[in-house]
Amino acid sequence: MAFVSLKDKVIWHCDDSVKLVFMIAVPAEYEGNFHLKVLAELSKNLMHDEFREKLLCSSDKSEIENMLSFSIV
């Protein structure tokens, strides 16, 4: 997974704006719906204000990696 925290918001679909951008890449051996499980877990975390704020404010690569390293079963 790749993550970017933008300095300035970017307009996305009409009036919506974003500051957090994610890319999910799944190896071929995880074919099927694995990407949906990753997206679901990420979405659950992003619903929490504290999680989003930590991502926006952190400049510590290790902290960000830990925040985005969740277990998918």
Location of structure tokens 């960000």: 64
pLDDT surpasses 90 at 40: yes
Q: What is the mean pLDDT of residues 61-68?
A: 92
Instruction: Give the CA angle between residues 46, 39, 8 to the nearest 5°.
Output: 50
Q: What is the pLDDT of residues 5-38, one digit of tens each?
A: 998 999 988 878 899 999 998 888 988 888 999 9
CA distance 35 to 33: 5
Domain boundaries, the chain: 2-68
**Global pTM value:** 0.79
User: 32, 72 in Cβ contact below 8 A?
Assistant: no
pLDDT at 71: 67
